[in-house]
Amino acid sequence: MEMMSTNIQITSVDIGTFGGAIFSGLDIKTNLKIKCIASYKILTRTPEYGEFWYVKGSMVAHPEYGDQLKLSKCSITDLPSPRYLSSLLIRHPQFRGFGLGKAKVKKLIKKVGSELLLIELLDQGKYLHLADYVAEPICKVLCERWKPLQNEMALARFLTENELSSIIIKQITRICRDNAVEKLESNPYALLAFAPTSPKLWRTVETISLKLGFRRDSQERLVGAIEHTLYTALRSGDTALPGDELLARAYKLLGSKINAQNGIEAACKIRAICSFKTETNDIMFQTIGAALIEANVEDMVSELANSPFQTDFATQQLPEIIDKYNYLFEEEQGYPLTEEQKAAVRMVFEEKISVITGFGGTGKTTVLKAVADVAELLDLNIYLMALAGKAKDRIEQATGRDDSCYTIHGFVKAVKEKSDFIELNGTSIIVIDEASMVDISLANRLLRQIKNKNYHIVFVGDPAQLSPVGFGIFFHILVDKIKTIKLTEVHRQAAQSPVHQMAMKIREGIDYPLPLWNGESEGVYFLSCQADQKDIINVINSIMPHQHCQIITPHSSYLAADNTHSINKAMQFLLNASSKDVESGGIGYDNDTPHLRMADTYLLEKDPIIVTNNNYEKGLYNGNTGIVTEVVNNEGMVFARIRFGSKVYLLTKDDCFELGIELAYATTIHKSQGSEYDAVIVCCAVPSKLLERSMVYTALTRSKKLTIFVGSQELLSKAIAGLPRAATINHGFQPKLNISSMR
């Protein structure tokens, strides 16, 4: 493919799918028309007619539309020369609608003397100097509309010249409207706040600061290094760092312990960061943003936990109502609630904030249904929610209350938008399931949204399961700090399960050798393989024809040999694909077999899939899983019928992109939490910090009958013996609770 880069003036724009665009322009050098295709990943914003853009990409031939430039990079840019000013002012929609026509543009240029002089006046906003030639109101609006465009062009030039990523360009373009270049030139280390931290970003900013003449001991550099270090820690989940660790990490960036120490002091002085003491009197440092979030949640949790007991429903009737419910429950199910379960139900209604924990088989889901049913008997609003769509669906199925179940994000959005479906007047009962994965930021959003409402909230989960994907820790700190009931009575059938027995050992960090799998349909087994993609897939394929399993792995990154994408492609071919490329030996797809193509992913009939983006209108959420029941090609338009539970959706290619649909022969362990399968294959072949005790425990307990670990027994043993991730997260979340007030 031919690579090329040039500047073009935009002549037409078609908005593409999900933020992308297809646009054409005239090459400034050759005056030839170039058609460009830009994905949402690289496009900072949709181009406008008349603008000048820098484009870079590879030329590809399309059978219907001819040659197209598939872009790898693009951004708005300055005028190629002042002589292009009139073309921009005449064509750009920014300068339409206030009386500035082609004749007035030419008149202005002629009277001012040149395009260059007019640009200088526009940059300075001197509309009164132009009013001698064109009406003052027109000149004033012209200068007002020129300023943001001029700022954007100058910013794009600065960012492009310094080879910054499209992610940073998007963020800065959206936030910095005025004098952005001047601000960045005065402190290039401000760039560190606009994108995911990485060593490359630090090196890029260092190069820019060197060009601008910043000294190695300048305050901007020292403070930037401290903030960058804490941002990096935040990305790994830590909202704070011990002083000695912050000093050591900053020293690696700055190359001087004195500069690192001075950086910490300067950052504290200007309040870029703050410090606090732990219960053991250790000094910790964190960014102001992280500190504010944790402080907000501390205050809201403490207020709930320490508030005097008051309610607008008759709590004296609770024991009687719960006993009545238990009688009906036993008649229907054949067994009663345990004393632990009854106590847990009562606690939810007696405490403003509480926690229910328990491992698999102790009946947490049974308690959730009981809470919902008792709330209805008391004529109270009940809202049940979970982090992921799959876990939300499970609550719906368990409680039979699809009108009361939400993802946490969906609930927050509905409350914010004052949805008619949510009524927070009176007393509401709010249940958060799978709460171990709720990060401190989401907890803050939820509690802030319902602040000053009358509600009881209970967090339900297993602290041995996964910690949050986001930063900080929440649920694990609440356990035993606020009123907590731990469910420990295991149903006899569950207690006898090999899966349960191993899970109990993993909780305590106890490992033992597993037998090799030899075709069994129940139990916990192991199969060895190398940390090699081909070997991993061969071992998995030796299992699947004999025992269908859900494959789960710690990794989604392509860098890991056991990543979901590679396993999914292989499993689709081995279990469901239609052809093989004989010449290359690679996987191929028969064009005669109906398929829906999404980039390098093909959806075929019978493929399992997973949703990775929320779509509130369709009622599909991150974590929902389904099966492709049919691929339909209707006069060139391709649709996929996908069954999610009892519902079937007819989805277009655009719908599938919007939902982030991926194959789901293999999913990550994080995406599997809240799901349950008869049998699972767990990958543990690749050394990784993601492979730790809570990850192994969660993966194991996704299975009802059979778990087969595939990989290295040594890696598995090391993961089980190590601390769970939640115990290693540095944080500042310390709710101030009056323990003596606990009922």
Q: Are 453 and 383 in contact (CB under 8 A)?
A: no
User: Buried (b) or exposed (e) across 465-504, using 16+ Cβ within 10 A?
Assistant: bbbbebbbbbbbbbbebbbbbebeebbeebeebbbbebbe
Q: For residue 462, is pLDDT > 90?
A: yes
Q: How far apart are the first and last CA of the chain?
A: 72
- Coil, helix or strand at residue 460: strand
H or E element: which one contains 69?
A: strand 66-76
**CA 113 centroid distance within chain:** 54
Residue 742 has pLDDT above 50, yes or no: no
Q: Are 240 and 254 in contact (CB under 8 A)?
A: no
pLDDT by residue (tens digit) across 366-376? 999 999 999 99
* Contact partners, residue 194, CB within 8 Å, separation at least 6: 167, 168, 171, 172, 175
Query: E strands of 434-562, at which residues?
Result: 455-461, 484-487, 523-528, 550-553
Q: Is 110 helix (H, G, I), strand (E, B) or coil?
A: helix
| Rounded distance between C-alpha atoms, residue 281 and residue 275, angstroms | 12
Average pLDDT over residues 59-71: 84
How are strands ordered across the β-sheet holding 637-644? 647-652, 637-644, 625-634, 608-610, 662-663
Whether residue 706 is predicted with pLDDT greater than 90 in this model: the reply is yes
AA identity, residue 453: K
Q: Cβ(724)–Cβ(569) under 8 Å?
A: no
Q: Which residues contact 636 (CB under 8 A, 6 or more apart)?
A: none
Buried b (16+ CB within 10 A) or exposed e, 228-258: bbbbbbbeebbbbbeeebbbebbbebbeeee
The tally of CA atoms less than 13 A away on the side-chain side of residue 605 is 9
Tell which residue, 300, 297, 308, has the closest CA to residue 743.
308
**327-357: per-residue pLDDT in tens?**
999 999 999 999 999 999 999 999 999 999 9
- Report pLDDT for 743: 38
Residue 577 structure tokens: 């694909």
From CA 711, how far away is CA 661, in angstroms rounded?
Answer: 28
Identify the band that residue 184 occupies on the pLDDT scale cut at 50, 70 and 90. confident
Read off the pLDDT of each residue in 420-437 and give the average, rounded to a whole number.
Answer: 88
Q: How confident is the model at residue 161 (pLDDT cuts 50, 70, 90)?
A: confident
Segment 76-104 shows an average pLDDT of 93
What is the rounded average pLDDT of the residues 181-197?
83
- Please, which pLDDT band fits residue 436 given cuts at 50, 70 and 90? very high
Q: How high is the pLDDT of residue 62?
A: 75
CA of 645: how far to CAs of 140, 648, 649, in Å? Answer: 59, 8, 11
Report residue 723 as tokens: 């601390």
CA angle, 482 as apex, 282 and 438 as ends, to 5°?
80
Q: What is the pLDDT of residue 587?
A: 53
**Distances from the Cα of 567 to the Cαs of 380, 438, 456, in angstroms?**
47, 28, 44
- Single-letter amino acid code for the residue at 481: K
pLDDT beyond 60 at 586: no
Tokens representing 282? 């250790």
pLDDT at position 518: 94
Q: Which two tokens stand for residue 108?
A: 């202005």
- The segment with the largest mean pLDDT, out of 186-190, 522-526, 736-740, is 522-526
Average pLDDT over the chain, rounded to an integer: 89
Whole-number Cα distances in Å, 32 to 8, 29, 685? 9, 8, 53
What pLDDT score does 691 carry?
94
Digit-coded pLDDT (tens) for 487-508:
998 875 577 889 989 999 999 9
Name the pLDDT band for 522 (thresholds 50, 70, 90).
very high
CA distance 691 to 708: 16
**Residue 309 φ/ψ, nearest 5 degrees:** -70, 120
CB 551 within 8 A of CB 571: yes
Band of residue 173 on the pLDDT scale cut at 50, 70, 90: low
- Residue 109 confidence class, pLDDT cut points 50, 70, 90: very high
Mean of the pLDDT values across residues 420-441?
Answer: 90
- Residue 90 confidence class, pLDDT cut points 50, 70, 90: very high
Per-residue pLDDT tens digits for 235-288: 999 999 999 999 999 999 999 999 999 999 999 999 999 999 988 889 999 999
Q: What whole-number distance in Å separates Cα of residue 705 and Cα of residue 678?
A: 5
Q: State how far the alpha carbon of 591 is from the alpha carbons of 49, 405, 594, in Å.
A: 38, 42, 7
Residue type, 97: G
Residue 306, pLDDT score: 86
The arrangement of strands across the sheet holding 703-711 comes to 523-528, 703-711, 677-684, 550-553, 666-668
Query: For residue 214, how many C-alpha atoms fall within 13 Å in the half-sphere facing its CB?
Result: 22
Q: How many CB atoms lie within 10 A of CB 528?
A: 13
What is the spatial distance between Cα 720 and Cα 508, in angstroms, rounded to a whole number?
9
The pLDDT score that the predictor gives to residue 738 is 59
Contact 537, 570 (CB under 8 A): yes
**CB of 118 closer than 8 Å to CB of 133:** no
Q: What is the pLDDT of residue 63?
A: 73
Task: Give the model's pLDDT for residue 44.
Answer: 78
Lowest mean pLDDT segment, chosen from 151-160, 391-400, 677-686 = 151-160
Residue 634 CB burial class (10 angstroms; 0-12, 13-18, ≥19) = exposed
Question: Which pLDDT does position 741 carry in this prediction?
Answer: 37
> Mean of the pLDDT values across residues 436-442?
95
**Can you tell me the mean pLDDT for 156-170?**
75
In this prediction, residue 426 has a pLDDT band, given cuts at 50, 70 and 90, of: confident
Residue-wise pLDDT tens digits, 610-651: 999 888 888 888 888 999 999 988 777 889 999 998 899 999
Which stretch, 293-297, 556-560, 583-587, has highest mean pLDDT? 293-297
How does residue 419 score in pLDDT terms, banded at 50, 70 and 90?
confident
How high is the pLDDT of residue 589? 59
Q: In sequence order, what DSSP letters do the residues of 266-291 get, joined into one string?
A: HHHHTTSEEEEE-TT--EEEEEHHHH
- Highest average pLDDT, of 30-34, 315-319, 395-399, comes from 30-34
DSSP 3-state of 740: helix
Contacts of 380 (CB under 8 A, 6+ apart): 313, 426, 427, 428, 429
Name the residue with tokens 């079937």: 648
CB atoms within 10 A of CB 516: 11
Strand stretches in 240-367, DSSP E: 241-242, 273-277, 283-287, 353-358
Task: For the beta carbon of residue 401, count every other beta carbon within 10 angstroms.
Answer: 19
Q: In one letter, which amino acid is 425?
A: N
